[in-house]
Amino acid sequence: MCKELIDSGVKLIHFYTLNLEKSVVQILEGLALIDPDIRRPLPWRLAPKRKEDVRPIFWAHRPKSYLQRTATWDEYPNGRWGDSRSPAFGELTDYHLNLHVTKDLGERKGCWGEVINNADDVHAVFVKYLNGQIKKLPWVDQHLQAESEIIKEKLVKLNSYGFLTINSQPAVNGSPSSDEKFGWGPKNGYVYQKAYVEFFVSPELLHKILAVVKNFPSFLYQAVNLKGDTFGNAEHTVTAVTWGVFPGKEIVQPTVVASDSFHYWKDEAFGLWKSQWLALYEEESTSHKVLSSVINSYFLMNIVDNNYINGDIFSIFDQVMKQ
């Protein structure tokens, strides 16, 4: 209703919060009238009535799905994840997969392709998203985050080659907590993060990465396909990838890469291929066959570079692309 009023020329809308400002803030965010990150006590937005201080990074672009899947948890891991065993994320349902889905099939086809003739057409969709030519992907329902803009050129190169990125962050070594791109938490603090990239990749490119990853001792990685075949050196580990140091507080570690949680996320990530993209095309069409091949053969992979000071997470991809 607010959008209809604004579109029709109304210049002023007055809200009464009745001491419950969260609903009004959500409406204003939905109308793109305020910055959703205007107040960030943590790297992700807090949910009402939840006492959590840590989340796996995998759901960074799908927070509503994460909230729904963990709604029945009685308690949450503490900021240091002393016990890496996390509660079950519940059964994955069509409801989770269809959050934020545009119901207009024509609009989705307009974004992701009227016809998909080959894998290169799939790669091109990811590149269009990075270049701002389309607004969303099945795994990302918003524009590229400001912090990812500084690595955008490298991400475009990766996606053009066939590393289909859906989540990433650059390394940060002690930015002020007030920094517009990276900042979060109380004033006068400093925030840090390790470089991270998550992507879909063909078996051929995966094996090229596996052949050279031994040259990168600071990297932790994990790859899994739809069937559950797994490669990696991070089994049953939890790695903090974002942390902050603030006056008078213990170190806060709110974002982690948890290998066990990755398998829950894998089911959702591959499910989104099917429910949002594959479902647009007739079963016998070329588009359906190409996407089915990608879904059934590609791996979902994440890499963490623990060297947040002098590391270069993109160097492994440079080696592969030079072969």
160-193 pLDDT, tens digit each: 999 999 999 999 999 999 998 999 999 999 999 9
Residues of the chain with pLDDT under 50: 37, 84
* Residue 136 sits in the same domain as residue 282: yes
Does 316 map to a domain?
Answer: yes
Does 281 map to a domain?
Answer: yes
* Residue 256 sits in the same domain as residue 108: yes
CB 297 within 8 A of CB 225: yes
**Spatial CB neighbours of 295, under 8 Å, sequence gap ≥ 6:** 226, 270, 273, 274, 278
Domains of the chain: total: 2
If you ran DSSP here, which 8-state letter would residue 174 be given?
Answer: E
* Residue 257 sits in the same domain as residue 194: yes
Q: What is the pLDDT of residue 17?
A: 67
* Single residue among 34, 50, 66 that ends a domain in this structure: 50
Q: d(Cα 57, Cα 141) in Å, to the nearest integer?
A: 16
Beta strand 190-193 with 299-305 is unpaired
Q: pTM for this structure?
A: 0.86
Q: What is the pLDDT of residue 131?
A: 95
Q: What is the pLDDT of residue 217?
A: 96
Beta strand 219-225 with 299-305 is antiparallel
* Residue 31 sits in the same domain as residue 110: no
Does 88 map to a domain?
Answer: no
Is residue 224 helix, strand or coil?
strand
**Spatial CB neighbours of 128, under 8 Å, sequence gap ≥ 6:** 134
